[in-house]
Homo-oligomer: A and B are copies of this chain.
């Protein structure tokens, strides 16, 4: 199987579907209708990911006659959508996950939101959902953040998770580009992924189910990438594993873990200390945390940093030879997720955590990435990745 050129890189052909003549999103036109009743905010200790939503949401409707309508910030509430809308039938939907933080001065910050807007646009283009001005959408999201700012937790480790979503709302069963669509943004306060320090996870290497394929949509954040992974996760969950380690191809290439990108830190077969993550070949989601980790590691210049394929046999050989140092997942929810074990070919393969501290649930490099990124997210060090939202 020859790997194909990632489809999202072909921006020339995407341009042909541009809706440039239609009205674009204009943040200055935003209509804000504050909710009449404000909800009580759950205590930080009670937060469960994605279950409590803030008072407001952002909605922007589009149609193929006039383009984007005026953005609206209004009370969080149900959408009224025709049962024939293509979002219910053909998976015409994509989304982003991003966070807003309060630093110790109470300033609202976002983390590399331009990368989320870039990827959101590319996901929409892949599905022929309408294009939009990324800066203007981000401005609208910032206005939503200001309206809902009391929902942004102040405590370090806590944040307001933002979920921009695009759905097709055309009321027709034809399989084709949608004549109507909607972007909405909802937000919910979330706690740290590991409330009491890291908890390393056991994975089950999975090749029977395949997450993504060349020529598919593995490099776009589209809804259809996620539903098929739930059953595989339940199946390994019943055997005591937290997540699937998604393999690909006859060489059992590592690709992703659950819904996160994957990193291997090891002394490679040539004896070099190296941080490796699978390349953006069209099957890998271009994660913001993934990119941040690669950038930091390259800046530090302390070890080799590679985007290339790694196979499970290479990993198990490194374990056998004592060369594997750390493995972790990377994503917006957890920043990093240390891995302690992989089930593969009928046995469990232990992954080292911290050789200097047997009680530790994460290796030194894993922790260093988490600390460095958090210190940027919470404005403890000045960095261009942390974007202040002005009142």
Decide: A84 and B186 in contact? CB cutoff 8 A: yes
Decide: B227 and A92 in contact? CB cutoff 8 A: yes
Q: Is B1 a contact of A208 with CB atoms below 8 Å?
A: no
Measured CB to CB, the nearest residue on chain B to A217 is B228
Any chain B CB within 8 A of the CB of A177? yes
Q: Which of A206-265 contact B (CB under 8 A)?
A: 207-210, 213-217, 222-231, 233-235, 238, 249-250, 259
Instruction: List the B residue with the shortest CB-CB distance to A168.
Output: B227
CA distance A173 to B90 in the complex (A): 20
Residues from chain B with a CB closer than 8 A to the CB of A90 are 223, 226-227, 230
Interface size class of A (residues with CB under 8 A): 35 or more
- Please determine whether B49 and A91 come into contact, CB atoms closer than 8 angstroms: no
A335 adjacent to chain B (CB < 8 Å) = no
Q: Which residues of B contact A49 (CB under 8 A)?
A: 173-174
Residue A343 interfacial (CB < 8 Å): no
Q: How far is the CA of A16 from the CA of B235 in the complex (A)?
A: 9
A228 & B238 in contact (Cβ 8 Å cutoff): no
Given contacts A88-B223, A223-B88, contact A250 B50 (CB under 8 A): no
Most B C-beta atoms less than 10 A away, residue of A76, A93, A227: A227
A81 touching B83, Cβ below 8 Å:
no
Who on chain B is nearest to A13 by CB?
A: B235
The residue of chain B having its C-beta at the shortest distance from the C-beta of A93 within the complex is B88
Our pick among B175, B210, B225, B249 for the contact of A224 (Cβ within 8 Å) is B225
Alpha-carbon distance A301/B49, docked complex (angstroms): 60
> By the criterion CB–CB under 8 Å, are A79 and B89 in contact?
no
Cβ contact within 8 Å between A163 and B229: no
A84 with B222, Cβ < 8 A, contacts A127-B227, A128-B230 known: no
Distance in angstroms between the alpha carbons of A245 and B87 in the assembled complex: 24
Chain B residue with Cβ nearest A178: B230
A208 x B84 contact (CB < 8 A) = no
Known: A50-B173, A174-B49. A215 touches B226 (CB 8 A): no
B-facing mask of A70-111, CB < 8 A → 1, else 0? 000000111111111001111111010000000000000000
- Sort A-B residue pairs by CB-CB distance and give the 3 closest, nearest first: A224-B224, A50-B173, A210-B215
Binding site for B on A (CB under 8 A): 1-2, 4, 7, 13, 16-17, 48-51, 53, 57, 76-84, 87-93, 95, 125-128, 161, 163, 165, 167-168, 171-177, 184, 186, 188, 207-210, 213-217, 222-231, 233-235, 238, 249-250, 259
